[in-house]
Amino acid sequence: MPVSTLSAERLRSLLTLPLSDLALDDLLFASKAEIETREGDALTLSVTPDRLDLLSEGGLSFYLAGATDAATGLPRLHEVPNPPSRTLSVDASVVPLRPYISAVVVNAPAGGTGLDDGTLAESIRFQELLHATIGRDRRAASLGIYPVERLEFPLRYASEPLSEVRFVPLDGSEEVGAEQFFADHPMAARYSALGRSDGHCLTLRDGNGIVLSLPPILNGRTAGEARLGDRSLLVGATGTRERAVQELVGLLLAVFAARGWSVAPVAVVSPGGSRSAGNGVYQPRSVLLPSAVLRGITGEPLAPAEIERRLGRARLAPRPHSGGWMVEVPPWRPDLLTPVDLAEDVVLIAGVRPQDGILLPSRTRGRRLAETRFRRRMRSTLTGLGFAEPHTPLLVSAETLERAGDSGALRLRNPVSAEFSVLRDRMLLSHLDVLRRNTRHGYPQRFAEVGPVIVRSDQAESGGETRYHAGLVIASETAGFADVASLVDYLLRSVDVVAVREPIERTALIPGRAARARVAGESIAELGEIQPRILVELGVPVPAAWAEVDLTGLWTLLGRHDSP
């Protein structure tokens, strides 16, 4: 889940009602966010990938104001007109590499100090979070923030020969040529393939020809550095997907909207000469909510006044429409696309309690499948052996996959976040993340989990087959191959099965300390000691051993006999 650290003091400064730590915990429990840690002013939150707005102080303050009835309805952005000269022209040369761009100008409230240290830090932190999630590590889209007072309109977005580009990098003090920048700078080494092709690179220049940035790599310092006290900022995004570009700009606007900044459009002139007014990126969207859909999801009839009250508390603006409501949605809620999404907000804002469950009428009584009872027996056995049970998602990051290696795991074509872009084909991938996230806990650590994995299959229509594995990890000063080998033997003997072990080599395991267990010629389990280099990357200070049993394969070999 996406995680970010917020300032508790800045969050409370945006709320009109005092909010205790306990009250904040209760309110977030009913939302899609939860508090991971508190350390002084630092508040670390995790959210589901569809509620990224809650990972900024501004976006979270909007939600909390509605949940406490301190404010209702759509938070309105104050729109001001832009001079006609404030345009952004797009050259046809960018189309093959990164064709989409969108921008708005945000202006500080009158009488204020302009951009303060907290707002600048919040916007930069939230910007990088959006790069990693919706932006897919800047591949789909990336953001930039520029000082309007130090640039001249109109702006121009183009692809230019490297030999014609010179600028002062944001973290530098001297002007360099693009060829030298791409050869030496670490940001260029990481992202150059996204903004450079065939001896050309993407540039965003102002009316004086000064380089604001080399999208999506780095801003220029001369006219591309936002500073404390700035009262007018250009917020722009480029990318390969128009929707991702607009979502990034809309989400980042929550940071400034919560502080009372106004917004102004920047017209975009496309290569063909057509002109977009630029206000669509921040204007509310309308989504239809039929009353029949809402009733089918909630399972109870709600009075129209109650539905409108709940939508208002969710910081949305409903108005009656034929057969339901037309609901206005702010730009920082890109997750609200369908009636089902809106119905979910109606349910969540009122809180979900255990007593709200409704048992549907049925003429028959079901029972668990024999294979399900077999898996539950294995889970109980592992619990009885003293293993803690984590609960990990089916999706893992590409970084985790590369770290473990030796995998035919399926990658998602269009993931919402780089953190959840790979379907695990082994529990090991998730359990490496468990080791990484729990280095603050003492050792020894023993955890095990029974869960689904997706293995590549040519016979499956989707290309992947769901199987269930039991994975276990021991991390301690004395953890070794013998520990997990004896545990695998015990699990198999508990169902009257004896396996034959043979050595294997796996990238994630120490050579000579890794094996496969076969039953009737079929590979049923793999086990071994995790490579020290991986443990160092994870921050784990002790040895660790892993084992994984293919319960689906084992059940097939058992002949599908009912297991007690």
Cα-based distances in Å from 310 to 8, 64, 73, 278? 26, 13, 9, 31
CATH of 285-351, one of 3.40.50.300, 3.30.56.10, 3.40.50.880, 3.90.190.20: 3.30.56.10
- Note whether 54 and 334 are within 8 A (CB): no
pLDDT-based confidence at 458, cuts 50/70/90?
Answer: confident
How confident is the model over 33-72, as pLDDT tens digits? 888 899 988 999 999 999 999 999 999 999 999 999 999 9
How confident is the model over 402-412, as pLDDT tens digits? 999 877 899 98
Comparing CA positions, the residue from 281, 101, 126 lying closest to residue 204 is: 101
Burial label for 141, CB within 10 Å (0-12, 13-18, 19+), is buried
Cα-based distances in Å from 546 to 476, 484, 552? 12, 6, 19
Comparing CA positions, the residue from 409, 335, 345, 416 lying closest to residue 141 is: 416
Taking CB atoms within 8 Å and a gap of at least 24, the contacts of 21-24 are: 24/64
Instruction: Please determine, for residue 356, whether its predicted confidence score (pLDDT) is greater than 70.
Output: no
pLDDT-based confidence at 379, cuts 50/70/90?
Answer: very high
Where in the chain are all domains bearing CATH 3.30.930.10?
Answer: 370-557
pLDDT of residue 563: 43
| Region of poorest pLDDT, from 90-104, 190-204, 456-470, 521-535 | 456-470
pLDDT-based confidence at 363, cuts 50/70/90?
Answer: low
Can you read off the two tokens belonging to residue 123? 């916007």
Overall fold of domain 3-67: Phenylalanyl-tRNA Synthetase; Chain B, domain 1 (3.30.56)
Where in the chain are all domains bearing CATH 3.50.40.10?
Answer: 87-281
Mean pLDDT over the full length of the chain: 91
Comparing CA positions, the residue from 468, 472, 475, 553 lying closest to residue 519 is: 553
Report, as an integer, the average pLDDT of 177-204: 94
Instruction: Please determine, for residue 20, whether its predicted confidence score (pLDDT) is greater than 90.
Output: no
- d(C-alpha 480, C-alpha 110), whole Å: 66
Return the SS3 of 25. Answer: helix
Omega within 30 of 0 (cis) for the link into 154 = yes
**Percent of the chain whose pLDDT exceeds 70:** 97
Where in the chain are all domains bearing CATH 3.30.56.10?
Answer: 3-67, 285-351
CATH class as words, domain 370-557:
alpha beta
Comparing CA positions, the residue from 169, 158, 163, 161 lying closest to residue 224 is: 169
- Which residue type occupies 315? R
Instruction: Please determine, for residue 560, whether its predicted confidence score (pLDDT) is greater than 60.
Output: no
pLDDT-based confidence at 362, cuts 50/70/90?
Answer: low
- Note whether 324 and 330 are within 8 A (CB): no
Tokens 């670490």 -> residue = 186
pLDDT-based confidence at 303, cuts 50/70/90?
Answer: very high
Can you read off the two tokens belonging to residue 82? 């832009």
Cα-based distances in Å from 475 to 305, 483, 530? 56, 11, 10
pLDDT-based confidence at 561, cuts 50/70/90?
Answer: very low
How confident is the model over 511-529, as pLDDT tens digits? 999 999 999 999 999 999 9
Global confidence as pTM:
0.68
Return the SS3 of 294. Answer: helix
pLDDT of residue 497: 92
- Which residue type occupies 133? T
pLDDT of residue 233: 96
pLDDT of residue 562: 46
Burial label for 332, CB within 10 Å (0-12, 13-18, 19+), is buried
Instruction: Give the Cβ contact number of residue 456 at 10 Å.
Output: 14
Instruction: Please determine, for residue 306, whether its predicted confidence score (pLDDT) is greater than 80.
Output: yes
The superfamily (CATH) of domain 87-281 is Phenylalanyl-trna Synthetase, Chain B, domain 3 (3.50.40.10)
Tokens 């301190």 -> residue = 70
Report, as an integer, the average pLDDT of 321-330: 94
Report, as an integer, the average pLDDT of 436-454: 94
How confident is the model over 214-265, as pLDDT tens digits? 999 999 998 899 999 999 999 999 999 999 999 999 999 999 999 999 999 9
How confident is the model over 67-126, as pLDDT tens digits? 999 999 999 889 998 888 899 999 999 999 999 999 999 999 988 889 999 999 999 999
Q: CA 457: distance to chain centroid?
A: 28
- Note whether 148 and 108 are within 8 A (CB): no
- d(C-alpha 543, C-alpha 560), whole Å: 37
Instruction: Please determine, for residue 502, whether its predicted confidence score (pLDDT) is greater than 80.
Output: yes
